[in-house]
Amino acid sequence: MDASVVIFILSAALIIASALMVVSTRNLIHAALWLIATLFGVAVLYAVLEAGFLAVVQVVVYIGAIAIMFIFAVMLTRKEMRDQGAQVNAAWPMAALLGLLTFGGLWIILSKWDGLAKLPAAIPGGADGTLQQLGIALTSPDAFVLPFEVASVLLLAALIGSVYVAMNKKGS
């Protein structure tokens, strides 16, 4: 086991632990800080995989801009939340059950897919066309199209959820 495998395992453990803390902590600011730790772990994974551009983008865009903007928005727009009612959704057991069922379904589907075990072709290093090769790899059916599309569906679900929450608050 070389150093890159140890770093990979440690950063994967950091990502899983901090992602669990994001969804389980009751304080919104603490959740945002755990989100920053999760995003930093992903940046470390990119660095271990020698994807320097993605690691820098992860740190600058996601940690440096989006997470910090989220913290400022929460700090500037929220009053003391403890005085305004329950902090935990009463339907969390149903949400947990649906999450487990979704995970189980995805596990069954992906365990039968032979493409999961195959590694995509390595993107050669160097400055010549690296971003072009990255774009091709993200959209190629033989490379990273599945994770790319899953990320887009998750972002779409987050967008729909935020619109629903915004519309619900205006109606009440």
pLDDT tens series, the chain, 172 aa:
888 889 999 999 999 999 999 888 888 888 888 999 999 999 999 888 888 878 888 888 888 877 777 777 777 666 555 555 565 677 888 988 998 999 999 889 888 877 766 766 665 665 556 677 777 777 777 777 777 778 778 878 877 877 777 676 654 5
Distance CA 4, CA 41 (A): 14
Distance CA 121, CA 18 (A): 30
Domains of the chain (ranges, CATH numbers) = 1-81 (1.20.120.1200)
Distance CA 74, CA 55 (A): 26
Residue-level pLDDT at 134:
73
Inter-residue contact 29 to 75 (CB < 8 Å): yes
* Closest-CA residue to 63 (of 30, 41, 78): 41
Evaluate if pTM is beyond 0.85. Answer: no
